[in-house]
Amino acid sequence: MAERGILFAQMEPAPELESEFNDWYEKEHVPERMAIEGFRSAIRYRAREGDLPYGAVYDLDSLDVLESDAYRSVSDNQTEWTRRILGGLRASARYTATQIADSGPVPPVPVLLVVAFDVPPAEHAALDEWYETEHTELLMQVPGWLRVRRYLVQSARGGTWTHLALHDLASRDVLDRPERSIAHDAPGRKEISQRPWFNPGRWVYEVISRVPPD
């Protein structure tokens, strides 16, 4: 069975195009993709912390969906509207990734924390071990920390991240709860944070819209 995957996109439209950018995303971009077999859901986000103000996560049956004739028909034959919007972006990044781990599904939540790592191949196992033996368990003990999903990046455009961690939160305030310090101060976290590559990217997102809806 093919591995589950995601497409994670980040975009910064020019200010004068921002309103039209949102119209385009809701009325054309997302519907085009959700009409393709293998696209399970699409969630749009507005960044409250971190660069690139808009994000989107598409949950896929597998990354093979992005090689399908149906997807290529859309991506290779852009509409005039799409070309104009993409041409007006100040910055963008796009990652495809396969799922490594998932703490378990939860109902739709309003806040997503994305943490990204650029890890040398020889250190992949160390990152996995830290999450699997310490970090995920401690985070899931924080009230309102509802889910942890981890992904191995398979392709990256506009960035160099190799791993993504998606954390579903009940609210932004969860990040400030005192219980989180237990995970931050744990022995494994202290050790791995000393490694030269440990300089994660971090974005806090609030949901704009989702398909299927709640």
Query: In the chain, how many domains are there?
Result: 1
Q: What is the CATH number of the domain that holds 61?
A: 3.30.70.100
pLDDT tens-digit series, residues 46-103: 999 999 999 999 999 999 999 999 999 999 999 999 999 999 999 999 999 999 999 9
Question: Is residue 148 pLDDT above 80, yes or no?
Answer: yes
Please state the pTM of the whole predicted model. 0.96
Q: How confident is the model at residue 213 (pLDDT cuts 50, 70, 90)?
A: confident
**Residue 67: domain span:** 5-211
DSSP code for 110: S
- List the beta bridge partners of residue 165: 115, 150
Question: Is residue 1 pLDDT above 60, yes or no?
Answer: no
The per-residue pLDDT for 28 is 98
Q: What percentage of residues in the chain have a pLDDT greater than 70?
A: 99
- Count the Cβ atoms, other than its own, within 10 Å of residue 202: 12
Mean pLDDT of 110-114: 99
Mean pLDDT of 17-44: 98
**Do the beta carbons of residue 202 and residue 113 sit within 8 Å?**
yes
Burial pattern 5-31, b for ≥16 Cβ within 10 A else e, equals bbbbbbbbbeeebeeebbebbeeebbe
Question: Is residue 214 pLDDT above 80, yes or no?
Answer: no
Give the mean pLDDT of the chain: 97
Q: How confident is the model at residue 2 (pLDDT cuts 50, 70, 90)?
A: confident
Question: Is residue 24 pLDDT above 70, yes or no?
Answer: yes
Which pair of tokens denotes residue 186? 């744990």
